[in-house]
Structure 1
Amino acid sequence: MINPQWLHTFAVLSEMKNFTRTAEQLGITQAAVSQQMRQLEQQYGQLLVRRGREMTMTPAGMALLQYQQELQHAENRLQIRLTACESTRGDVGLVSTGSIGLRLYPLLLDMQQQHAGLVLRHRFAPDTEVLDAVLSNKFELGITSVKPDDSRISASCFTKEPLELIVPAGKNINSWQDLVNLGFIDHPDGRAMATRLLSRVFPGNPGISSLPISGFSNQVSLLLEPVARGLGFTVLQHFARSSFAKQEAISVVKTDVAVVDTLWLIHRCEWPLSSRAERVVAYLRSQLNC
């Protein structure tokens, strides 16, 4: 049986890559860190290679670190089982893409007001970071527009979200030229979204690159402000549009075709969701009618 304190020290040292900082982090002496590493290396061989200030792990060191992480995951699963009855107390972390996050965050705050014992953490992130955050156990739940192809992840349909063509209130869009006259308010995913939707609404159009750019923002919560001021149009997801405060200043163009994305709820499949997380998911589904 490996001393759990030695394993913890080794894990911190692998992150800090410095004996002094590791000792400070753990509140012990540097000599104690060195002694614990010697004890481990007597059992498992050389774990670390030091060249000056650089420190790298040997294959044995990487294997031991993986073992320590597996033990930590097992402890987390045990904690979930032991607190399964506490569905309204404790921490639940949710990471999501921007558009759905704008819709969910106020709902999470409503739920936390109803249950003072809950601590609900939410983070906005792009799809790739959503997956990484769940895989690394930083967040128990994730919502992404890309269904992960990873055996460690459980994915289920959370809701559907259409793309919308959004123009200033009172503007009529009957042709491609009407869009040219307005100009495009771009954003990081703007060209991809506009291409997907406008290629179906206006088949045979000259392409998004032919549209003049009349603005840009990388903040989804602010993107519709220039549209509301009559400075151009944009293509955006439904939940981002519906969360905008000045609905009277914008208009969604009704189209005969639709581009609808599936949003996926993801979590680690190796262990069950905590009762707290299940309660959060049920509440959010009920509020979104999904």
Structure 2
Amino acid sequence: MQTLYITHPACHLHEMGNWHPECPGRLDAINDRLVASGLMDFIDEQTAEPATDADLLRVHEPGYIAYLRMHAPTEGYFQVDPDTLMNPHTLEAAWVAAGAGINAVDAVMRQTHRNAFCSVRPPGHHAGPAKAMGFCFLNNIAIAAAYALEKYKLDRVAIIDFDVHHGNGTEETFAGDPRVLMCSFFQHPLFPDHYQDPPAENMVNIPVHAYAKGDELRFLVSDVWMPRLQAFQPQLVLISAGFDGHREDDMGQLGMVESDYAWITEQIVALADETAQGRIISFLEGGYCLSALGRSTEVHIRALAKL
């Protein structure tokens, strides 16, 4: 079975101004790298379908969805917070970005594809049940997890987040839910500047210092994440794949390189092969240095596809 690559043209239409680092060119950088490397010939591309309101409401409050619709502009921008803005295409992009995760869950659970990468934007892991923040409107990975738990009656879903910024919205959604185990590392202090401390029992979220390099982060994966994940025995593994921890990315100060992303992905693939019939869905989160983003995503997808 091939790796599924899910995207949608609407994800290019959402933009927040020429000054903004979360730009449509991020998707072009990924696609161009996959084509140039020849990797696109070995994966199966699919256009995302939009999520339904029922899908969103497993995670987000009805009043929040109504708020987004009420303030969606017909021209120009509506500023949700200082760095998160809607343009006339944002809601379509957000709905298909969330829908990509739903489509991917169906694909891996029905065994038409072994795993999937959702090349979508806006990203999602900062969005809480009733709040947009940090470039995020809908929490794509949380929506997919909630759908999988309900639709396929799963008991154990793992969420792994290696973005340089903490996935606070995902933590807020699932803290205390024994069906979900979240494992992450993130630079601290750095936006969003807070995490639950002490954490809920099902949260393994590890703050790391600026300039931490790959060997330190690999230790956290092998010696902290993996024992918890192996004990949890996830039936499905979801990844918030943020590539802004790359040493070339100015949004953070971690020292990761492509080989680190490849190694982490290989560990996740081995875990999923052991406990989840290989079922992994990865979601694009951060990554703002376009060259580093393209290279890092390539090795991530190559590891997913075992190529």
Q: Shorter-normalised TM-score: what interval?
A: under 0.3
Between Structure 1 and Structure 2, the one with more helix by share is 1
Q: Which has the larger radius of gyration?
A: 1
TM-score computed with the length of structure 2 as normaliser: 0.23
If asked which structure has higher relative contact order (CA below 8 Å, sep 6+), I would say 1
TM-score computed with the length of structure 1 as normaliser: 0.24
